[in-house]
Structures are given as structure tokens and as C-alpha cells.
A = this chain, B = another copy of it.
Amino acid sequence: MSFFEDLRARIDAVDSVVSVGLDPDPERLPGFVDSELPRWSFNRRIIDATHEHAACYKPNAAFYEDPDGWRALEETVAYADGKGVPVVLDAKRGDIGNTARQYAKALDTVDAVTVNPYMGRDTLEPFLSRSEKGIFVLCRTSNPGGSDFQNLQVGNDKRLYEYVAQRCAEWNDHDNLGLVVGATAPEELERLRELVGLPFLVPGVGSQGGDAEAAVEFGLADGVGLVNSSRGIIFAGEGTIDENAYFGAVGDAAKRLKTRLNEYR
């Protein structure tokens, strides 16, 4: 099965397009997680609390870049896999041939990755050629500086992010390419949906305040796509009185987002 076929099956099984971002910021981890590999201890409880509502998990590589971090990530990926939930490694990589091939090995354990398009097609190829895996290419990002370069006019009638989307659609020989498109610019989501039929991974609906309706209406391609929340779910337990309350609140936050998004599906 290809990644997007797997993802469609998962979306159907849990009736959810929620991507749960696993970004275990050490400074925000609750006091009761085990001190041995705290990120893994935390993620395990997050997965227990949310997997019934999760179409995928999306760990951001930035939070795992040290020796213990990579161990925590490996455990997390294996545990999500055991629960039958696909994992998208949010690594935003992109590098020349021999190096990209090295990065592409990260795909051995996960189901999909995010990649950065700035360096061009050959830097995406080692990912794209693995037809059973998914690749989400950064297109229009949800951060304030997302417009600095992505919204530049290129040629007569296109923005850079639109051009990136169109080139990516041309490069999608194995039907395994999607785009990262932020929910903070709904009109751009709409414009991209008119341009290409690729599935979108839409961040920015939680803490960043993006538009949930637009994320669902324009993010899904024939019903397949992902809407991500990271901090809005995993830290939803902050301020609760104990461990059970903490992860109860986390599970509720995932369920609430699922329900909210399903209104528009």
C-alpha cells in the first residue's frame, strides 16, 4: 500500500483528519514524566490519550536532536506504529544528492517526511523515489515570515508558492507527494486547491489560530489530507491537578479538534 492509501484507510477507521504534533518541548513537560527519557515517557502517554482521534502523529525533528532525543523518537515511532497510526517526521529537510539519500534513510522507520523545496528537484528525488512513503513539500507556511519569499511574484501571474505547488504536481510520478500549506492564510489555501489536486498537510489550526473550516474545505484532496495541531493538543493539560487530569485534557483536546473539523468534512 502507498502512504496516501494507508492514510485514507486510517482516516476512515478513526473518522478523523487530525494530525497530532509531537513537539515535547523540554521546558513544558509536566513534572510527573519519568526522568529516564522524559520525551518518550511523555509521548507514550500522549499517544495513549489521543490515538483514537489521530489520523497521524507528526513529531518535529527539532525536539529530538540529541542522543537521548533520537532514542525517544525511535521508541515513539515504534509505539505509534504498534497502535496502527502513521507517523510523519516533520524534518523539513533538503540537501544535495548523497546527503539527501542519507536523510532519506530516516524514512525507513517513519511513513512520511516533510521536505524543503528551496534546493530544487534533485534534493527531493531520494524521497520521491520511495514510492511507498509519503513526502510533504513546504509550500505556503503558516508563520509570519512565510510571505517574505513564498509570496514573491514570479513571472506574470504567479506567486512563488503557487509555482512550487505546480512544479511539485509535475514531479509527483509516484502519487506520494503532498504539500504543507498553513491554515493562517485561508485564501491562499483556496487558491492552491484550485491549482493542484495534491493532499495538503495543514498546520496552524491550534496555537497559531488558523481557520479550521478552510483547512478542511481546501486541505483535503478527495477526502485525504491532514490538519495538524501540536501545542494545542499535547499541552492541553497544563494547569490541571494531576497526571490523569492532564492526559484526560489532552485526549479531550484531540477529540474536540476532530469533532470541529468533522463539521466541515
Contact = CB atoms under 8 A, between A and B. Distances in A.
A120 B150 contact: yes
For chain A, give the interface size range: 35 or more
- The secondary structure that dominates the A interface is helix
A61 to B, nearest CB: 8
Copies of the protein in its oligomer: 2
A143 B97 contact: yes
A176 interface: no
B154 A160 contact: yes
Interface stretch (A5-13, A44-52, A63-71, A236-244): A63-71
A240 to B, nearest CB: 21
Nearest to A151: B120
B96 A120 contact: no
A160 B149 contact: yes
Interface in A108-139: 116-124, 138
Interface string A143-172: 111111110111100001001100100000
Interface of A: 23, 25, 60-63, 65-71, 74, 92-100, 102-103, 106, 116-124, 138, 141-150, 152-155, 160, 163-164, 167, 231
